[in-house]
Amino acid sequence: MSELFKYDDDREAESAAKVRALEALLIEKGVIGSESVDTVLSHFERVAGPFNGARIVAHAWVDPAFKQRLLADTPKAIAELNLPPGMSGAEGEHMAAVANGDGVHNLIICTLCSCYPWPVLGLPPYWYKDPVFRARGVREPRAVLREFGVAIADDTEVKVWDSSAQIRWFVVPERPAGTDNLTEEELVALVTPEAMMGVALVASPTPSSTTS
């Protein structure tokens, strides 16, 4: 993770404490019930999250025809997969995928706020909402990527995609080397939310992770 967007443990602990306090207050005032909180948490554990995006990416890696359909009409292609219902619900109404490769690297930002494809990536990380990241991602994407540990070759084009309420982008990263012998399920485990945002590459598996 880039040092520029890394928040220390104290700040994370403070934010978590504020969330717990707000939750307790809302329950105490009768605004929400504990069941409502459990329902929301369950939704992001079972229905909407990066596990969906990882399955989509892994299937695109092993099925080139599906990948082409995914890039042409993302919601229609996703509907082919046996994913949890509600993929076109909140924050997923207008999802679109772009693919890295052939001299192109894609970076996803939201210049206005924090629009994000929740069904395939889960909740956006804190730094994604940061005005500094949003502004610099447009002005100097290569510098931002370097700070995330992603060095882009000079002859590789960096495309920046601006998510909005009208369209929410995610990236199909390149399949890493050394994965020809992996099953689709094993490939799923390699895909990270950061790779599907374009701020990371999918790492090749270590030898120990490819042997039983």
Amino acid type, 131: P
Instruction: Say whether 208 counts as a known binding-site residue.
Output: no
Instruction: Examine the residue annotation and report whether 110 is marked as an active-site residue of this protein.
Output: yes
DSSP 8-state secondary structure symbol assigned to residue 151: P
Alpha-carbon distance 111 to 200, whole Å?
19
Structure tokens at 184: 């689709």
- Given the residues 110, 163, 164, 208, the one annotated as active site: 110
110 known member of a binding site: yes
15, 42, 113, 209: which one is catalytic? 113
> Does the annotation flag 204 for ligand binding?
no
Burial class (CB in 10 A: 0-12, 13-18, 19+), 10: exposed
- Based on the residue annotation, tell me whether 212 is a catalytic residue of this protein: no
> Integer distance in angstroms from the first to the last C-alpha of the chain?
30
Q: Is 115 annotated as a binding residue?
A: yes
In the numeric block, which tokens belong to residue 61?
Answer: 């890696």
* Candidate list 115, 164, 208, 209, residue with the active-site label: 115
Annotated active-site residue in 88, 114, 164, 204: 114
Taking a C-beta distance cutoff of 8 angstroms, is the pair 95, 168 a contact?
yes
Assign residue 162 a region (left: φ > 0; alpha: ψ between -120 and 50; beta: otherwise). Answer: beta
Residues annotated as catalytic (active site), given as ranges: 110, 113-115
Binding residues: 110, 113-115
Binding residues for Fe(3+): 110, 113-115
